[in-house]
Amino acid sequence: MDVITVERRPGVLLVGLDRPDKRNALDQTMVDELDAVLAEANRAHPAVLILHSTNPGMFVAGADIGELIERDADAALRAINAGLFERLEAHRWPTIAVVDGPAYGGGCELALACDHRLCSPTARFAQPELNLGILAGAGGNWRLPALVGIGLARRMLYAGEVVDADSALNAGLVDAVHDAAELLDAAIAMADTIGQRSWRALELTKLALRQHRPATTGFDIAAQALLFEGDDKRRRMQAFLDRNR
Report the catalytic residues: 109, 129
48, β-bridge pairs: 12
Burial classification of residue 43, based on how many CB atoms lie within 10 Å of its CB (0-12 exposed, 13-18 middle, 19 or more buried):
exposed
Give Rg (Cα) of the chain.
17
Q: Say if strands 12-17 and 95-99 run parallel, antiparallel, or are unpaired.
A: unpaired
What is d(CA 39, CA 163) in angstroms, rounded to the nearest whole number? 32
The one-letter amino acid code at 211 reads Q
Q: Residue 57 and residue 54: Cα distance in Å, rounded? A: 10
> CA–CA distance from 220 to each of 103, 135, 140, 226 (Å)?
20, 8, 10, 10
* CA geometry: angle 54, 23, 243, nearest 5 deg: 170
- Helices 140-148 and 217-228: crossing angle in degrees, nearest 10, is 130
